[in-house]
Amino acid sequence: MKAVHFHRFGGTDVLEYGELPEQPLGPDRVRVRVRAAGVNPIDWKAREGLLAPLMDTLFPVVPGLDLAGEVIEAAPGVTEYAPGDEVMGFLWPDVLGRGTCAETVTAPVRALAPKPASLSWAEAAALPLAGIAAYQSLVHRLRVTAGETVLVHAAAGGVGVFAVQIAVALGARVIGTASEHNHDFLGSLGAEPVAYRRNLTGNVRALAPDGIDAVLDAAGRRALRDSPALLAPGGRLVSVADPQAVALGGGYVFARPDREDLTRLTDLAEKGLLRVELAAVLPLEKAAEAHLLVRDGHTRGKVVLTVD
């Protein structure tokens, strides 16, 4: 089977596209014919070696954590899925090795959910990691309730677009930071847009003089540092972008594959409450281009690779 892979850390020039052997099928796994693989910032960070201090690496590494595709084989003990089923999910590996930018991948059942017919392959592959990061932040960690004011930093990005819509679905008032060219788009999702390049705190305070109840930071750096001062008394803060949030009195969220959370997200999508914004859909062979787009840090929504 063909896959994008790399044998050493580096720039996009280390990415190759070619044959790799199929993986063995573990007892809790299905083999999936990948139809689309979502691209996340962690993919270029892993390729450049930034995860090497945190986890072991088994070369050749196939990048990619998000997938949507069809089950082509199920291990004998698997009862949840059978060949022909359409699934989606994100795979967090214990060892950096076989990811989803491949014609086939094996996936543990606990990381998957059925793909709703209303989502295209590309939309389904865009949703899992970023959607779960947003959902677990807002629902499990910030415990946002109706009527609260939520601030989402990097609201037009992969995590942010889902976060805005989930917070709106929870009944919150949502303020989202983005560059001006994304403000009408954020408005269409139900958020009040705020510019971040100049006077971020002043811009937010003008909209919410009594303070913010819950901040979800997907930008890091200055956005995170400025956030504690924007909170209302008792306000909560989490970041998915920077663990330094803990030192600021907030929390750090690292998305965990979770079948139930993923199913809640697909339910929202089926009800029309969660739409998937695709910045670019490229063929698998163009993984390098996709990594460069995401590394640039200004895509609206998600970048996805599709497999013929």
Ligand X SMILES: NC(=O)c1ccc[n+]([C@@H]2O[C@H](COP(=O)([O-])OP(=O)(O)OC[C@H]3O[C@@H](n4cnc5c(N)ncnc54)[C@H](OP(=O)(O)O)[C@@H]3O)[C@@H](O)[C@H]2O)c1
Give me the residues that bind ligand X (CB under 6 A), please: 40-42, 129-130, 133, 153-154, 156-160, 177-179, 182, 196, 218-220, 223, 240-241, 253-255, 294, 297-300
Question: From the CB of 42, what's the least distance to ligand X, in Å?
Answer: 5
Question: From the CB of 140, what's the least distance to ligand X, in Å?
Answer: 12
Residue 175, number of CB atoms within 10 A of its CB: 25
Phi first, then psi: what are they for 9, rounded to 5°? -75, 150
* Residue number with CB closer to ligand X (178 or 274): 178
The beta strands (E) that lie in the chain are given as 2-5, 16-19, 29-39, 57-62, 66-74, 86-90, 96-98, 104-108, 112-114, 149-153, 173-177, 192-194, 212-217, 231-239, 251-252, 278-283, 302-306
CA count, 13 A, side-chain hemisphere, 69: 27
Question: From the CB of 181, what's the least distance to ligand X, in Å?
Answer: 7
* Residue number with CB closer to ligand X (23 or 57): 57
* Residue number with CB closer to ligand X (30 or 219): 219
Q: How far is CA 278 from CA 46, 120, 237, 259, 281, in A?
A: 22, 11, 28, 23, 7
Question: From the CB of 271, what's the least distance to ligand X, in Å?
Answer: 23
5 and 16 in contact (C-beta within 8 Å)? yes
Q: How far is CA 221 from CA 175, 240, 241, in A?
A: 19, 12, 9
* Residue number with CB closer to ligand X (35 or 291): 291
* Residue number with CB closer to ligand X (33 or 259): 259
* Residue number with CB closer to ligand X (88 or 133): 133
Question: From the CB of 301, what's the least distance to ligand X, in Å?
Answer: 7
Tell me, what amino acid is at 155? A
Question: From the CB of 239, what's the least distance to ligand X, in Å?
Answer: 8
Which residue is closest to ligand X by CB? 157
CA count, 13 A, side-chain hemisphere, 155: 32
